[in-house]
Structure 1
Amino acid sequence: MKNWFYTYSLLAAGALWMTACQSNPPETKDKKQSDSLAMREKYAESPTLDPETSLQHIQVEKGLKVQLVAAEPQVSVPVAMTFDERGRMWVVEMMGYMPDTVGTGEDMRNGRVVILEDANHDGTVDTRTTFTDSLVLPRAICMVENGILVAEPPKLWFIENDHDRAGKKTLVDDKYAEGGNVEHQPNGLFRAMDNWIYNAKSDKRYRKAGNKWLIEHTHFRGQWGISQDNYGRLFYNNNSENLLGDYFSPGLGASNEAQKNVAGYDEHIVPDNRVYPIRATPGVNRGYMKGVLDDSLRLVNFTAACGVLIYRANLLGDGFEGNAFVAEPSANLIKRNLLQDSGYIVKGEQAYKEREFLASTDERFRPVNLYEGPDGALYILDMYRGIIQHKTYLTPYLRNEIKTRRLTTPLNCGRIYRVVPEKDTAVQMVTLENDPAKLLALLDHPNGWVRDKAQQMIVDNHYTTLAPQLRERLRHDDPKKPWGLLHAMWTLEGLGQLQLADVTAVIQQANPYLRVQALAAMPAVITPQQASQVLSVIAPLQQSVLQAPSIALLLPYIKKVNAAAASQLQTQLLHSYASDRYVADAIISNNAGHEQELLQQVTKWNADTNLVITRRLQKTIKDAAKQRNAKANAALAKLYPRGNHIFKTVCQTCHGADGEGIQSLAPPLNQSQWVLGDKNKMISIVLYGLTGPVPVNGKVYKAPEVSGEMPGIGSNDEFSDDDIAQVISFIRNAWTNKAEKVTEKDIQQIRQQYKGRQKSFTVEELK
């Protein structure tokens, strides 16, 4: 069961409208209907345009222009990339993605990582080198020391660089992308300011320590694409929501796996999900549904948001630094959002009214990932395809549209663009020499990518001789641009040279945002020998509402070295901030496995059941019990092996392993009346899908809290009727559910009853 409406995962559709509109015409007045018919006729074809022609179809913000950097055959089906210190692009090519509507050959080893270079510095690629090939659906890349991390589901590999050819290959994680499917697997491999590597659609983070790879639990984030701002806070999204993100450092607050949501993480940053295509987009999978398209057949709200980029350079001009850009391939556009800090809370709004930063009239323009380059330009990866919907959720309607408009081919296209000033004389690729002194100076560079890369190269080359100069940098803050100071601090942490005195120097800065970052780095210096000193440094800051959450997030680290001191600090924070949801959740994070004892302590102190910490504690206790139930399904998995497999690959990615749903994706399955009630309704939903809003256990779920629709899987030839019966039976008896099993005959009867049906059910229809 896919997420509530992840119909276009990387996404975007080449799906067509004619059949959809014939089977379920929009409710419009005669003139509007006439306009819609005219629009359908106008966009009856979806021609493949050569790169130069497609470029002419792109409109961008005044004062800027779009340049073609690379196109087929230089690059094919690009889905992820990174730059090296020479300004070369290392691009992941997912050649095997959906060769046709049934995914024939999707398991072929034809994926690649290639190196693209602009050797003559004219802004376009002129050399291509294959670093490694024979990969199955590769999806992410990250440069570390003398090699690259490459995600090839389900595994994560580290491949050493032997003169631009693949060298020794080391398995880092054999469960990096376990379960799920191509649309719902981890991606990103984003190397953040805190020296850890984070992912979207994942709750793991990675770090190389000598010859070992560290893997730790972190917050579950996003769906496709991940980025950071100048303070190292992470931002991401899901297909139907513009922008989500963290208020605090990514490495904190994930100590209690029973907490489904921790305040300050996975927050709604830009709640406005409206989009403004410059062409009709009837090819979205649910385009026949009322409200999905407007009267001109243009998409109304995000359905394929992905590829978040926080732009951290000054090349594009005043007002662009710190903006959040989001790709929407189903509407052939890129959104620009303006972000604003208010204390530690980050909020944002769309940059324009009823228009976009960049949009195209070419339906096959599919921007799926955005990057900032060493030149300060904004880079766009365009898969340039007609069909992007994965076979797992492909409906007969969409399959027919693809066939009618010949969207399956070509398969080998791909483009990379960059956005630069219209007068681009200032565009210059920055290259980084592997020289300690020069790298140190680049920590203050105005381009965030350059600062990040300089930090990473110092850490990767173990330039510990720079420690004294890095410490000196901590004592000099530029109020307008404190970024170099932050990079100096985290570089010391990455080198293993950070000391309590270094963190204390940053805490003493006047900038409150620097103090918060200093607190985030404190775990690196908390030792049994220095516990009392750490407490003396942070204790005065707990009086500040701005710093209190960050101090509370340190409790698990303090507890490891001095449990008594941590307990005393926790009590002080509890009494001062019991109704602050950020502090409350941080305290709960510190009490993994001891939530009941904490609840007793709280109620003994204050019996008010409306206290924020009391309510959130009670929820965590219930969630912990549900997680224990989820782990008790081993026998059920043996009884329904195919059902267990399908649940993990199709349903779990959105509804959660515990069946309790995932925020912003899908509602609960555990104890849902739709699961436990009339089995024929459950079968109908699984076969044909369900369109929200939908009530579950007394709560109505609707977009954007969850996605708008759960597509059915009844038309997927990969699943037999017995398979579908098994997954329904599995779900109806998993966790705390207990209901009658479903048989293959039951599935066949519902198919016969609704023979010829393609559209999803609504709650009203099922009633």
Structure 2
Amino acid sequence: MEVAEGFEVELVASEPLVAAPVAMTFDERGRMWIVEMDGYMPDTLGTGEEAPVGRIVILEDRNGDGRMDERTVFLDSLVMPRAICLVDGGLLMAEPPNLWFYEIEADRPIGKTLVDSVYADGGNVEHQPNGLLRALDNWIYSAKYDRRYRRLSDGAWQKEKTHFRGQWGISQDNWGRLYYNDNSSNLSGDYFPPGLGVGNPNQRNVAGYGEVVVPDKRVYPVHPTTGVNRGYMDGVLDSAGRLLNFTAACGPLVYRGGVITGMNAFVAEPSANLIKRNVLKKEGYLVSGEQAYQGREFLASHDERFRPVNLYDGPDGSLYILDMYRGIIQHSTYLTPYLKNEIAVRGLTLPLGMGRIYRVFPKAEKGDWVTMPQRTDSLIALLGHPNGWVRDKAQHVLIDRQANDAAGALRSLLQTGRNPLQVIHALWTLEGLGLLTIDDVRIVLRYPQWHVQAQALAALPSLGDEVPPEQLVDLVETTIKAADTLLAPYAAFVITSMAAGHAAIAQVTGQLTVGYSDNRYVVDALISGWKGREDRVAREIASQQVIDTASVLYRRLSVVVNEMKGKEESHNQSLLATRFPQGAALFQTTCQPCHGEDGRGVSPIAPPLAGSEWVTGNKERLMALVLYGLTGPVDVAGHTYNSPEVSGEMPGIAHNPTIGDAELAELLSYIRHAWGNVAKDEVLPEDLGMVRSKFGDRAKPFTQNELYELFGKN
């Protein structure tokens, strides 16, 4: 390995202690709980992926030297497990399609509860929910998913809608904002707390969520990386055969360990055997970043089996790396003939059953290992620790132990605490214990830092029906009267999360509407609360002339109204699924992860299929595109989609032996009639055979211009 100057890499665990690690969490004793996905891609066909060979294991350092000495199998005989979270004295674990909760006694599972039977239903291993991040607001969030979870005091599980985020891996910053990415992008994230702005299903995008934080996708491997899926294409590799841009980005981590200076975000790239470091900066509620180095990486390996797939903070402040350590990292669903040949020539199929865990830290400042104390007052003190992992874990332990005796000390911190991070953890610990009051929020709203005040606003909706609406509105209105533009989006998100119909709510909403009609973050926050009233509000704006119809508010609201009208005209999807059952099923597993359940695309991955001339037009052109893929910018419904708005690469499935022409023909016929699409004819299996014979073993994806030249634009 080559690591940035001033840093050191240490091995924490390797086989046989660990095999194919893909996810991890530390418990309060500092032990590692590891998800082993040992069944992933045993060969290029994925033979045996359904075998029950996955495990959850506990690794422990017995002698305190920082290396794991002991392995305990907590669960075995699992099929492709992918995520875990320690919560409420038990373990939440994802084993597709299910999400399970296990009670724990003496490091053994003693009870099993099905939390969700459709957590990872559909899709494939590269495109299924994962992460299970227990965030600052006490909810558990996932990548590649739009639902969040929480265990209630009676043991029941609550599931709620949230924003759709990322692909593999999810992280948070000190203020509880979430960060994620997809395989071809560096880093995206949210400007605002994760639980806000999801009240309107008619609203496609909400400004401040899913924002590109670091647009630069360039990578700098230290050796030729020809064994990447699109290595045969121009612009993928440089003249030395090294990958130019992210193709398997994953496991993003906003580092909070306290020993690496600055606000850093690390991203793993297993295809190029490296880890990227980005430096982030905050300007108000906006977050942006750039790569820390040009022409080199934070960490890069000469070993092509070094496959970092997830990154974590640890109890000592180190950056922890999960290295799956295997040759094949691309799933068979998208494996190109080029990469299959590379795997064969380079002998990458074996060995299997290996895995590594590393930690990286500054040579000059190796952090102290922190385990959670038993005393409540000691735990409260740790809420202000420099290491974000320690702060998070102290909050979790207090909540899981139901430490109601901490309420007095926590409230004292709200009133007199000088460490803003300790204050917000005290706030959310009270919320997690079910002890938060309106007076607590009122106190925090007086804190001098606007970041802390914003957390108080974000916590308001959790008070729910316990507080009269007028008291909640009063706090929001006080914020608005202060004319604090930084808090205005928070105020808008909170006020629109409340039940409509109350006169005070309408008054405050009106003030925000008029005062911030050209602030896209406030505007989208307001629209998120106007479910079912979008058209009426737009007509009122146009008729009353209080707000200019050229304003950001009117324009963004009009987009929502127009999309709603389009949805009303759409075909009944359930009837289509009955007509094309194989096609609907294949869409769910293969296309939906990138193009969305509603066919409107998933940003920043893929453009919409609904209303796309590529779908409804020349069916031979559509077949060629789907069979052999598309690269580069593409025009859809008058808009040019290009990187970073979308990934810029759609893999073909011509060489996937698991998808037959009859099944694929149904898929194409299904999308040509779904979401209001109207096509002249259906696709037949023999049509696909003709296209295959025309292009043979072509491996290179088409460009838009090539398809236009071959088939025209209609």
Q: 1:430 aligns with which of 365, 370, 373?
A: 370
Letter matched to residue 155 of structure 1: N
CA distance in 2, matches of 1:429, 1:640: 57
SS in 1 for 2:584: helix
Alignment-mate amino acid for residue 554 of structure 1: V
In structure 2, the partner of 1:699 is 639
The equivalent position to 1:674 in structure 2, one of 607, 614, 617, is 614
87 and 669 in structure 1: CA distance in 2 versus 1, 3 angstrom threshold: same
Alignment of 1:517-596 (within 5 A): 517-525=455-463, 527=465, 529-542=467-480, 543-559=483-499, 563-596=502-535
* Distance (whole Å) between structure 1 residues aligned to residue 454 and residue 20 of structure 2: 41
Give deviations 1:413-441, integer Å, cap 9, x for gaps.
110000023256x4432111232122111
1:609 aligns with 2:549: yes
1:314 corresponds to which residue?
A: 258
Q: Residues 83-122 of structure 1: matches in 2 within 5 Å?
A: 83-122=26-65
Deviations 1:424-464 (A, max 9, x none): 6x443211123212211111111110110110111111111
Residue 755 of structure 1 corresponds to 696
Cα distance, 1:530–1:647 mapped onto 2, change above 3 Å? same
**1:383 to 1:177, Cα distance in 2 relative to 1, 3 A:** same
Distance 1:605 1:241, change over 3 A: farther
Give 1:661 deviation, angstroms: 0.9
Opposite residue 66 of structure 1, the aligned amino acid is: V
RCO higher in structure (CA 8 A, sep ≥6): 1
Q: How far apart, in 2, do the equivalents of 1:477 and 1:627 lie?
A: 51
Which residue is equivalent to 1:333?
Answer: 274
Superposition pairs of residues 679-758 of structure 1, within 5 angstroms = 679-739=619-679, 740-758=681-699
Is 413-422 or 619-628 further displaced after alignment? 619-628
CA distance in 1, matches of 2:16, 2:567: 49
CA distance change for structure 1 residues 731 and 576 in 2, over 3 Å: closer, same or farther? Answer: same
1:651 correspondence with 2:591: yes
Distance of 2:183 and 2:565 partners within structure 1: 30
1:391 paired residue number: 332
User: Retained in 2: the 8 A contact 1:629–1:658?
Assistant: no
Q: Which amino acid aligns with 1:563?
A: H
Within 5 Å, which residues of 2 pair with 1:178-193?
A: 178-193=121-136
Alignment of 1:663 with 2:565, yes or no, is no
Within 5 Å, give how 1:355-434 maps onto structure 2.
355-422=296-363, 426-434=366-374
1:518–1:680 distance in 2 versus 1, CA, 3 Å:
same
SS of 1:485's partner is helix
Deviations, residues 712-765 of structure 1 (Å, cap 9, x unaligned): 112111111111111111111111112210111111111111122221112222
Secondary structure at the counterpart of residue 537 of structure 1:
helix
The answer to whether the Cα contact below 8 Å between 1:558 and 1:565 also exists between their aligned partners in 2 is no
Query: 1:512: how far off?
Result: 0.9
Amino acid at match of 1:86: R
Is the 8 Å Cα contact of residues 192 and 232 (structure 1) preserved in structure 2? yes
Q: Secondary structure at the match of 2:586?
A: helix
Q: Distance in 2 between matches of 1:366 and 1:644?
A: 34
Query: Which of 162, 175, 180 does residue 231 from structure 1 map onto?
Result: 175
The equivalent position to 2:395 in structure 1, one of 443, 448, 455, is 455
1:614-662 Cα offsets, whole Å, 9 max, x none, are 1111111233345556672111111111111110000011011111111
CA gap of 1:630–1:180, structure 2 versus 1, over 3 A, is farther
What's the counterpart of residue 22 of structure 1? none
User: Using the alignment, how far apart are the partners of 2:300 and 2:198 within structure 1?
Assistant: 38
Aligned to 1:272: 216
Q: Which residue of structure 2 aligns with residue 484 of structure 1?
A: 422
1:627–1:658: 8 Å Cα contact kept in structure 2? no
Paired residue type of 1:383: M
**Aligned match of 2:712:** none
> Judging changes above 3 Å, is the alpha-carbon distance between structure 1 residues 111 and 630 closer, same or farther for their aligned structure 2 residues?
farther
1:528 and 1:614 mapped to 2: Cα distance?
Answer: 35
Deviations 1:675-695, CA, capped at 9 Å, x for gaps:
111111111111111112111
Aligned to 2:243: 299
Determine whether 1:284 maps to 2:228: yes
In 2, Cα distance between equivalents of 1:734 and 1:527: 40
The answer to whether the aligner puts 1:146 opposite 2:89 as a matched pair is: yes
| Pair 1:165 & 2:103 matched | no
Cα distance, 1:400 vs. partner? 2.0
Which secondary structure state, in structure 2, belongs to the residue aligned with residue 525 of structure 1?
Answer: helix
Q: 1:510 aligns with which of 444, 448, 454?
A: 448
2:539 — aligned with what? 600
Q: Give the letter aligned to residue 236 of structure 1.
A: Y
Aligned match of 2:411: 471
Q: Does the Cα contact within 8 Å between 1:280 and 1:297 map onto a contact in 2?
A: yes
One-letter code aligned to 2:101 = F
Q: Extract unaligned runs of 5+ from structure 2.
A: 709-714
Q: Which amino acid aligns with 2:444?
A: V
Q: Using the TM superposition, give the Cα deviation of residue 103 of structure 1 relative to its aligned residue in structure 2, in angstroms.
A: 1.1
Residue 376 (structure 2) pairs with residue 446 (structure 1): no
Task: Report the alpha carbon displacement of residue 486 of structure 1 after superposing the two structures with TM.
Answer: 0.5
Q: Is the 8 Å Cα contact of residues 39 and 48 (structure 2) preserved in structure 1?
A: yes
The answer (yes or no) to whether the contact 1:643–1:724 under 8 Å persists in 2 is yes
- Residue 54 of structure 1 aligns with which residue? none
Distance 2:593 2:642 in 1: 18
Are the equivalent residues in 2 in contact too, given 1:238–1:305 (CA < 8 A)? yes
Q: Distance in 1 between matches of 2:248 and 2:511?
A: 45
Structure 2: which amino acid aligns with 1:112?
R
Q: Which amino acid aligns with 2:439?
A: A
Q: Tell me how far apart the structure 2 counterparts of residues 72 and 438 of structure 1 sit (CA, whole Å).
A: 37
Is residue 259 of structure 1 aligned with residue 197 of structure 2?
no
Q: Distance in 2 between matches of 1:663 and 1:500?
A: 37
In 1, are the aligned partners of 2:35 and 2:83 still within 8 Å (CA)? Answer: yes
- In structure 2, do the counterparts of structure 1 residues 298 and 629 end up closer, same or farther at CA, with 3 Å as the change threshold? farther
User: Which secondary structure state, in structure 1, belongs to the residue aligned with residue 233 of structure 2?
Assistant: coil
Counterpart AA for 1:503: V
2:571 and 2:676 in contact (8 A); partners too: no
- SS of alignment partner, residue 315 of structure 1: coil
> Quick one: structure 1 residues 716 and 629, their matched pair in 2 at CA, closer, same or farther if it must change by over 3 Å?
farther
CA distance in 1, matches of 2:272, 2:69: 31
Task: Say which is worse superposed, 306-315 or 180-189, in terms of deviation.
Answer: 306-315
- 2:301 counterpart letter in structure 1: S
Residues 306 and 324 in structure 2, CA contact (< 8 A), matched pair in contact too: yes
Distance in 1, matches of 2:571 and 2:56, equals 38
1:764 aligns with 2:669: no
Match of 2:562, SS? helix
Q: What amino acid is aligned across from residue 174 of structure 2 in structure 1?
A: N
Kept in 2, the 8 Å contact 1:630–1:657? The answer is no
Change (3 A) 1:651 1:441: same
CA contact (8 A) 1:279 1:361 kept: yes
How far apart in 2 are the matches of 1:628 and 1:336?
Answer: 46
CA distance in 1, matches of 2:651, 2:467: 57
Tell me, yes or no, if the aligned pair for 2:571 and 2:673 is still in contact at 8 Å.
Answer: no
Q: Does the CA contact (< 8 Å) of 2:98 and 2:118 recur in 1?
A: yes
Deviation at 1:284, TM superposition (A): 1.7
Aligned-pair distance for 1:162? Answer: 2.3
What letter matches 2:486 in structure 1? L
| Contact 1:260–1:620 (CA under 8 A) maintained in structure 2 | yes
How many residue pairs get aligned? The number is 703
CA contact (8 A) 2:237 2:244 kept: yes
**TM-score w.r.t. length of structure 2:** 0.96
Residue in 2 aligned with 1:80? 23
User: Secondary structure of 1:157's partner?
Assistant: strand
